[in-house]
Chains A and B, each alone.
Chain A
């Protein structure tokens, strides 16, 4: 990033610098940025990672934001983000420009994304692929394909 760009950013009031190529995850609920970064394993790679916490948001009051250079998300990562931050926006950046802007959507069916919270579920007892269905998006409620156990947003655990 050149000085010119930096001063332009300062004028625009940007608190975190732009990235050349990579992904920006925006509109993360405050406090959830670190959780997403951990889930995406961002603390164990060489590229630039910027995590902004409690940034001002016109839509939500406050928000977290993640910028990660040279990384593009896979579909299961989109799905996992949707469970932590159902209103997040993913911006794909190429050469400092937004190439694509996508809102995450909690899919109807989640295969191997979340873990059933029922400890006695067969999916937690034997090598069985996890499968959950979304029965409500607001509030977020998932139901296990096998044991029908319903799991609300704050209890959802992601498959590692």
Chain B
């Protein structure tokens, strides 16, 4: 399995065996501790054109835990992007300074383009600088999906054959699209809970149908709460609604509180890519089934594994 200098742009580029290899590597790092000499002398560029708390900080934490340095910008203020510099020119420049680039960018497909740019540089005699997609517009966020799968595997002991419910904004939420693609490798039963206006998009359904994956659509959390092994909540994004009345109609339905959560299986886990607004009430935080903060914590071992594999420090 060759991860060296590989770009991580889309979760669809990964096989089940490759994902399993990343999870085993992360598991070892988490249990044995991080070797702070593993990436000594390496530089990781963190190019965050958009706000991020967890992705940027967990990549930063993972890189430092392994002895790598990070060079970064968070927000384009103070960069040449403000002067109209194209993504290509920024990538061409930063690729001279670092060994790997993690990038979050507002435009869909920007990560693939950045990966093409650093691949084309190799034709001019430069070394390949791999690109890790930290979120490209509403398209993909593959390392979030990897840590979601890792969290499912860690809490349930397996991924295969589980009943997984995704709740909230399934139309616009890139995490549920990527998670659906990835779970199609694991023979899971998927349950989508959303108002009609925010249900899972046609192209994701088409993908699941091509893979012959069993899925169902629901309009109430109550329909799935007692059968799901994982309840994956997402934030309903107010700004997507044509008017405030429409938003007010649906926002209350897709909230979970401790009373509702108590009806879930004792082994079930409540997850969320975060940030939450009010879809998970604060009283859930103390329930043993609440797992969203630990899930965010899993970003460090998973991203440390990815950095080490891609930079060739481990096989």
In the complex, number of A-B residue pairs with CB atoms less than 8 Å apart: 54
Q: Are B137 and A147 in contact (CB under 8 A)?
A: yes
Q: Say whether, besides A126-B86, A148-B10, A148-B139, A120 and B108 are in contact (CB < 8 Å).
A: yes
Partner of A120, one of B107, B112, B140: B107
Asked if A40 is an interface residue, CB under 8 A from chain B, the answer is no
> A-facing mask of B87-131, CB < 8 A → 1, else 0?
110000000000000000111111011000000000000000000
Partner of B109, one of A121, A127, A150: A121
Asked if B32 is an interface residue, CB under 8 A from chain A, the answer is no
Asked if A48 is an interface residue, CB under 8 A from chain B, the answer is no
Q: Are A144 and B109 in contact (CB under 8 A)?
A: yes
Asked if A10 is an interface residue, CB under 8 A from chain B, the answer is no
Q: Are B112 and A125 in contact (CB under 8 A)?
A: no
> A-facing mask of B206-230, CB < 8 A → 1, else 0?
1000000000000000000000000
Nearest residue (CB) in A for B177 is: A148
Q: Are B203 and A122 in contact (CB under 8 A)?
A: no
Asked if B42 is an interface residue, CB under 8 A from chain A, the answer is no
Chain B contact residue count (CB 8 A cutoff): 20
Cα distance A128–B113 in the bound complex, in angstroms: 8
Q: Are A146 and B109 in contact (CB under 8 A)?
A: yes
> B-facing mask of A87-101, CB < 8 A → 1, else 0?
000000000000000
Cα distance A68–B81 in the bound complex, in angstroms: 48
Q: How far is the CB of A109 from chain B (nearest CB, A)?
A: 14
Chain A contact residue count (CB 8 A cutoff): 17
Partner of B107, one of A125, A127, A150: A125
Q: Say whether, besides A120-B107, A120-B138, A122-B107, A146 and B88 are in contact (CB < 8 Å).
A: no
Cα distance A150–B207 in the bound complex, in angstroms: 11
Cα distance A123–B116 in the bound complex, in angstroms: 13
Q: Are B86 and A147 in contact (CB under 8 A)?
A: no
24 example contacts (A-B, Cβ-Cβ < 8 A) are as follows A118-B108, A120-B106, A120-B107, A120-B137, A122-B107, A122-B109, A122-B110, A122-B112, A122-B113, A123-B113, A126-B86, A126-B87, A126-B107, A126-B113, A127-B88, A128-B88, A146-B110, A146-B113, A147-B112, A147-B139, A148-B139, A148-B140, A150-B203, A150-B206
A residues sitting closer than 8 Å to B (CB atoms) are 116, 118, 120-123, 125-128, 144-150
